[in-house]
Structure 1
Amino acid sequence: MSTLHGRDSTIVRHHTITIDGIKLFYREAGALDAPVIVLLHGFPSSSRMYTGLMPLLADRYRVIAPDYPGFGHSDAPSPDAFRYTFDNLAHYTQRLLDTLELERYALYLQDYGGPIGMRLALAHPERVTALVFQNAVVHEEGLSAGWKLRREFWNDRSAHYEAARAAMLSPEVARQRHLAGVFDEARIDPDTWADEYAFLTRPGMDQIQMELVYDYRTNVAAYPQWQAWLREQQPRTLVVWGKRDPLFTTEGALAIGREVPDAEIHLLNASHFALDEQAPLIATLMRHFLM
């Protein structure tokens, strides 16, 4: 077994670094000289969503899972003092990777991790060894009818703000994010959504998250650019997709294969947070694919 400073490298360790006055939290496991996988989380979770996956990869890889500003244990400054846009979240994530002197890495993209990861890939294609898409959309056909209210919010922010806020930030919605579409509810730890909701109810967090919900429209506008990049670059691509995701459809998974014909695509018995149900299988698929 590989070791890190004489310790078991599969143990997840927790770190904080400061970039431009913003404290960024990240989890890390694996030997320092191992190939790197960067795990990019979704909404409204954090690097915590990867605590089951990281030990399953860390004997072979150095795995790093950051919390973006406004998420998890990273700083969450007021929107008056910080721009909550996907461009800026990607900027701080890239700064973290640069500070850690990571020159080559695979990117695992889930939900919000998709638009953040695609920005990283376009900025530095020479650094990306592979892309792993897990319910992260880069095609409009991947967005289900469940996006109707968000689209209305993008078109008229003031008229739909309160409705969109209630739909995104209520305790029952937090619960259903992890239960809707799952194959076995008994496998889903209720602490998952309880912890997420606790973070969402911190002072000022609703405003922070609604800024990002509104800015998501910039991701949809960028889909054609990302698709063109995939076609031109033909990155090594693995798709591991929960096929009962109520928000991101399987059409979104299959469309990735249209851009990257050699992509390896697996539709899994899982929902949006596929790691809740299928972490061992996803780890096995990743280990085989990334060899």
Structure 2
Amino acid sequence: MFRDLIPELEHHFYIIAPDYPGFGNSSSPSREQFEYTFHNISTIIESFLEVLEINQYYMFVFDYGAPIGFRMALRKPEKVLGIVSQNGNIYEEGLGPKWETRKDFWNNPTNEKRDSYRTAFSRETIIGQYTEGTKECSVSPDGYTLDIAYTHNEDYANKQLDLIYDYQNNIKMYPDFQRYLRENQPKLLAVWGKNDLSFIYPGAEAFKKDVKNAVVHLVDSGHFALETHYKEIGKLIRESFK
């Protein structure tokens, strides 16, 4: 997803964009070898940065990256120089209507409810995640075609279903993430595809409650705002973190 953004930033920052375990080109250990939780993924990324001897950094967090990145910031706030949140939510007011159904699953988990989320990995659903809220023909098929290909990896769906179930623990940590912001006041840019149905734009505005100088910018796009607005977002990042 960063393929177009990186050229906009490469002369201004040293950039790394690792795939999480079980995602993209990173290894995908079995569920017996690795418990797929947001906490565990955050510790893997933390260790990865230590191996690279990256002691301080700016974070770009998106979707699942928000609870992963904010866990890291909460544990080691001195390492975080600033944060870009692109549809990376840490507020109750940023949760769209679909989360009510997920809360029902978390409160009353059954195999039937778990299996109902397998539709989240269908071709149609993935394409919709990329194109909903965008202008017609504005999204390249490259991103969603690659995502669809990754769904064929061994036991992909069950690993992702584990993360859907674990997401409830992210919401429980929202007050801690917000406390981190209030106490540390990092440089923060919240740039949001305002038509996102999953993480709705009040979640972007909410950052202003906790970060005095937060910059909030809405773009006319959906969840994957980089697909359509990478140049605008790149410019905002350069201007916000000079």
TM-score, scaled relative to structure 1: 0.81
Match of 1:14 in 2: none
Report SS of the residue matched to 1:157.
Answer: coil
Higher strand share: 1
Shift of residue 154, structure 1, vs aligned partner = 1.3
Matches within 5 A, 1:99-114: 99-114=51-66
Question: In the alignment, is the contact (CA less than 8 A) between 1:150 and 1:164 conserved in 2?
Answer: no
CA distance in 2, matches of 1:157, 1:61: 44
After superposition, the C-alpha distances for 1:204-234 in whole angstroms (9 at most, x for unaligned) are 0011100011100100000011111111111
The counterpart of 2:186, out of the listed 209, 232, 235, is 235
Specify the SS of the correspondent of 1:265.
Answer: strand
Give the Å deviation of 1:103. Answer: 1.0
Say which SS state the counterpart of residue 16 (structure 2) adopts: strand
Q: Which runs of 5+ in 2 are unaligned?
A: none
Q: Which runs of 5+ in 1 are unaligned?
A: 1-48
Is the partner of 1:186 in helix, strand or coil?
A: coil
Corresponding residue for residue 54 of structure 1: 6
Which of 233, 236, 239 is the aligned partner of 1:282?
Answer: 233
1:86 aligns with 2:35: no
CA deviations over 1:39-62 (Å, ceiling 9, x no partner):
xxxxxxxxxx00110111011110
Q: Decide which of 139, 146, 153 is 1:188's aligned counterpart.
A: 139
Moved beyond 2 Å, runs of 4+: none
Is the counterpart of residue 157 in structure 1 residue 112 in structure 2? no
CA displacement at 1:90 relative to structure 2: 0.3
Pair 1:207-2:163 in alignment:
no
Match of 2:208 in 1: 257
Q: Distance in 2 between matches of 1:289 and 1:202?
A: 38
Task: Find the partner of 1:98 among 39, 47, 50.
Answer: 50
Paired position in structure 2 for 1:216: 167
What's the C-alpha RMSD, in Å, of the aligned pairs?
Answer: 1.0
- Residues 69 and 89 in structure 1, CA contact (< 8 A), matched pair in contact too: yes
Structure with greater contact order relative to length (CA < 8 Å, sep ≥ 6)? 2
The answer to whether 1:126 aligns with 2:86 is: no
What TM-score do you get using the length of structure 2 for normalisation?
0.97
Tell me, in whole angstroms, the C-alpha distance in 2 between the residues paired with 1:156 and 1:83.
Answer: 21
User: What displacement does 1:148 show?
Assistant: 2.5
AA aligned opposite 2:208: G
> 2:174 is aligned with what amino acid?
Y
Instruction: Give aligned-pair identity as a percent.
Output: 38
In structure 2, C-alpha distance between the alignment counterparts of 1:206 and 1:156, rounded to whole Å: 20
- Tell whether the 8 Å contact from 1:239 to 1:265 is kept in structure 2 after alignment: yes
Instruction: Return the match for 1:70 from 22, 27, 36.
Output: 22
Q: How many residues align?
A: 241
8 Å contact kept, 1:152–1:160: no
Contact map agreement 2:73 2:180 (CA 8 A) in 1: no
Q: Which moved more, 1:249-258 or 1:188-197?
A: 188-197
Counterparts of 1:128 and 1:244 in 2: how far apart (Å)?
29
